[in-house]
Amino acid sequence: MSKYDIIVLGSGPGGYVTAIRASQLGFKTAIIEKESLGGVCLNWGCIPTKALLKSAQVFEYLKHAEDYGLSVKEADKDFGAVVKRSRGVADGMSKGVQFLMKKNKIDVLKGFGKLKTGKKVDVDGKEYSADHIIIATGARSRELPSLKQDGKKVIGYREAMTLNEQPKKMIVVGSGAIGVEFAYFYNAMGTDVTIVEFLPNVVPVEDEDISKQLEKSFKKGGIKIMTSAEVTKVDTSGKGVVATIKTAKGEETLEADIILSAVGIKSNIENIGLEDVGIAVDRDKILVNNFYQTNIPGYYAIGDVTPGQALAHVASAEGILCVEKIAGQHVEPLDYGNIPGCTYASPEIASVGMTEKQAKEKGYDIKVGKFPFSASGKASASGAKDGFVKVIFDAKYGEWLGCHMIGAGVTDMIAEAVLGRKLETTGHEVLKTVHPHPTMSEAVMEAVAAAYDEVIHL
């Protein structure tokens, strides 16, 4: 039986990053993967979806070339080629992780890993042991009882990335990041898209102003939106699908070629030996302490299988923190109140910290500033005037409570707010930090200026 210092179960952005950091710290490390290195994120999530979205964005540029003084005749798309490009990007990234495993001298154990007692893991009949075993098995598309996925007419995100032909009509159930990204992609490609959201607002975790702006932008682009609506029944017996939808006004039916179920995720914790080892689980999540130790010594868990936010960058941060603690380094618990969230539709959404509603509910006396991209020189020149930056500060001490953005490229701008909040910066410090002109990021400074009644360009 092979013996390691650390074995990581799962090679997504939590698992492979954890393994690399463990190797850097001098641990003899192995990683177990049943499919492709990189997990869902690199192969079926973050990366290939961004490739699809880029193709959609370029196609939209071509369709609106005249807005930029250009002439493009008969712009069209090859749906199969768009999907093929996306898969090529994913394959390239997975090969990159293979290279990183070799570079860092990490053993890759291919197969299905199952935890055993005594700090052991069985991989398709072969046993391995380690002083520390880290579970990073991620999650998959969640199924609703009324919306069972058959992979053909009712699909999840995997099938949505690799359809053989583009549907004419699609219903997207759920308007979280996955739902709105695919809704934008298919709409931009020419599919008739309807979003069905159970809650009153699309992207319901975001600030209400963000939700309203996205709904406005999507409707302008031709996407139909039904909020406070629930799919109660799906009939797949005909050529396409017929969905029965319950709304405040009563029931109605929608017909489409395909329904994409984007109603959240389900942790991959079945059949991996948790019960055999005695690892505590609550409501689909493995229970861990601040340093990702489970209730059984020597077993740890990070990423989507734990109660924190189900985001790739959270999983990576948790894994690094976990192995640094194992190595005896002084580490601070992760601040889950300062995790950025990003949605890559068009317009993009990026946010960190409290929404305005949350800040008020917590009793803060707040200053709120908002700066629209319609007043930004860079946004006007780029033809990307939809959206705004919104900032929320504590009026008493100037603490940056929240930052919410919607517009072109905002997912690349949010890190300023994350870093500022990490360093406990105040509104006046942001305001007095010179931002380059003309840039989209100026909108952050201008929004802060608006909060303090010092805005110049509005």
Q: Is 105 annotated as a binding residue?
A: no
The partner residues of 107 in beta bridges, in order of sequence, read: 30
User: In Å, how far are 136, 193, 362 from 314, measured between CA atoms?
Assistant: 12, 31, 25
Taking CA atoms, 20 is separated from 100, 115, 147, in Å, by 8, 21, 39
The CB density around residue 160, as the number of other CB atoms within 10 Å, is 24
Centroid of chain to Cα 448: 27
The reply, when asked if residue 114 is annotated as ligand binding, is no
Distance CA 220, CA 144 (A): 30
Q: Give the C-alpha separation, 266 to 264, whole Å.
A: 7
Closest CA to 184 of 231, 222, 152, 216: 222
Tell me whether residue 180 is annotated as binding.
yes
Residue 80 annotated as part of some ligand binding site = no
E strand segments, 302-440 = 341-343, 348-353, 366-372, 388-394, 400-407
- How far apart are the C-alpha atoms of 58 and 64, rounded to whole Å? 10
Supply the Cα-derived Rg of the chain in whole angstroms: 23
Distance CA 413, CA 436 (A): 13
Is residue 370 a known part of a binding site? no
Question: Nearest-CA neighbor of 341 among 414, 442, 391, 262?
Answer: 414
Give me the half-sphere count of Cα atoms (radius 13 Å) on the Cβ side of residue 332. 4
Q: Phi first, then psi: give them for residue 6, nearest 5 degrees.
A: -135, 130
179 assigned to a ligand binding site: yes
Q: What residues does 406 pair with on adjacent strands?
A: 349, 388
Burial (CB count within 10 angstroms: exposed 0-12, middle 13-18, buried 19+), residue 329? exposed
Answer positive or negative: Cα dihedral of 396, 426, 317, 300: negative
Check whether 141 is labelled as a binding-site residue: no
Whether residue 304 is annotated as binding a ligand: the answer is yes
- The residues that are catalytic are 437
Residue type, 426: T
Residue 233 · residue 243 · CB < 8 Å: yes
Whether 175 has a binding-site annotation, put simply, is yes
Is 296 assigned to a binding site?
no
Distance in angstroms (rounded) separating the CA atoms of residues 47 and 38: 10
Residue 31 vs residues 14, 18, 93, 270, 406: alpha-carbon distances, Å: 11, 9, 17, 19, 38
Residue 50 annotated in ligand binding: yes
Binding-site annotation: residue ranges for FAD:
50, 113, 304
Binding-site annotation: residue ranges for NAD(+):
174-181, 197, 264
Binding-site annotation: residue ranges:
50, 113, 174-181, 197, 264, 304
